[in-house]
């Protein structure tokens, strides 16, 4: 039986979200004047909250606002590697690292499934010891530079499960003999929680805590 341990990232493994901090981290290093645009980013987030546009569109606008229309391939690699190291040392629950290590020791194939963009999710996944990273895919130009548009679905909600199942099919791992633990803090991951054989509510929100009690899912507090 193939054993998977699939982890959400933001507020499951990390203490806080990672996208806005990345935008600030990158803007400070490549164009500090863009930090003056942060109030506009806050207005854009309000627009998302009241339903003017979806999360994918919000992320695209954040990239355009604080990074520009495109970022060179090598520059993005340098920024992303530095940011991943920063997250590992400042924004990870130690208990999450212990849980990942235990799943690795138990022979699980470790998967990071996150709505975060691939350019920093992949190096962060590598530092966390993940075997596979499934993340939102940023558009690339012909020479490999990163464009402000997003090329895939936002790896969130029902689309996260679609992308997990697509990866399983491409890897030849789909089938009934699949044992998949899934760790998340958010009720937005309900489709993947209900699909997994061992759903785990990690640092759950109030809504997810109610759902976990209703469906008798395991709950874990990694924030101690």
Coil, strand or helix at 178? strand
Distance CA 23, CA 72 (A): 15
Provide the pLDDT for residue 176: 65
In the 8-state DSSP scheme, what is residue 10? T
Provide the pLDDT for residue 11: 96
Domains in the chain: how many in total? 1
Per-residue model confidence as pLDDT tens digits over 77-87: 999 999 999 99
Average pLDDT estimate for 102-120: 97
Q: Is the pLDDT of residue 92 over 80?
A: yes
Confidence class for position 175, pLDDT limits 50, 70, 90: low
Q: Is the pLDDT of residue 6 over 70?
A: yes
Per-residue model confidence as pLDDT tens digits over 52-90: 999 999 999 999 999 999 999 999 999 999 999 999 999
The residue among 88, 112, 127 whose CA lies nearest residue 7 is: 112
- Which tokens sit at 34? 């863009």
What's the burial of 105, exposed, middle or buried (CB within 10 Å: 0-12/13-18/19+)?
A: exposed
CATH of the domain at 202: 3.40.50.1000
What's the burial of 176, exposed, middle or buried (CB within 10 Å: 0-12/13-18/19+)?
A: exposed
Q: For all residues of the chain together, what is the average pLDDT?
A: 95
> Residue 95's domain spans which residues?
2-220
Provide the pLDDT for residue 135: 98
Q: Is the pLDDT of residue 108 over 90?
A: yes
The DSSP line for 29-60 is: HH-GGGGGGHHHHHHHHHHHHTTSS-HHHHHH
């Amino acid at each position: 039986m193939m054993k998977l341990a699939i982890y959400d990232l933001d507020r499951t493994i990390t203490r806080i979200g990672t996208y806005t901090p990345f935008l600030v981290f990158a803007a400070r290093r490549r164009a500090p004047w863009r930090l003056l645009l942060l109030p506009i980013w806050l207005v854009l987030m309000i627009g998302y909250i009241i339903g003017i546009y979806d999360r994918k569109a919000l992320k695209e606008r954040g990239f355009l606002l604080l990074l520009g229309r495109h970022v060179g391939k090598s520059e993005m690699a340098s920024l992303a590697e530095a940011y991943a190291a920063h997250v590992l040392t400042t924004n990870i629950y130690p208990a999450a690292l212990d849980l990942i290590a235990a799943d690795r020791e138990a022979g699980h194939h470790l998967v990071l499934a996150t709505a975060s963009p691939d350019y920093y999710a992949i190096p962060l996944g590598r530092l966390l010891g993940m075997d596979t990273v499934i993340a939102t895919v940023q558009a690339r130009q012909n020479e490999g530079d990163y464009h402000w548009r997003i090329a895939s679905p936002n790896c969130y909600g029902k689309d996260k499960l679609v992308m997990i199942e697509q990866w399983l099919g491409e890897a030849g791992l789909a089938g009934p003999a699949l044992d998949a633990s899934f760790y998340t803090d958010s009720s937005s991951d309900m489709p993947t929680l209900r699909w997994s054989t061992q759903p785990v509510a990690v640092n759950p929100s109030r809504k997810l805590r109610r759902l976990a009690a209703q469906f008798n899912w395991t709950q874990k507090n990694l924030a101690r």
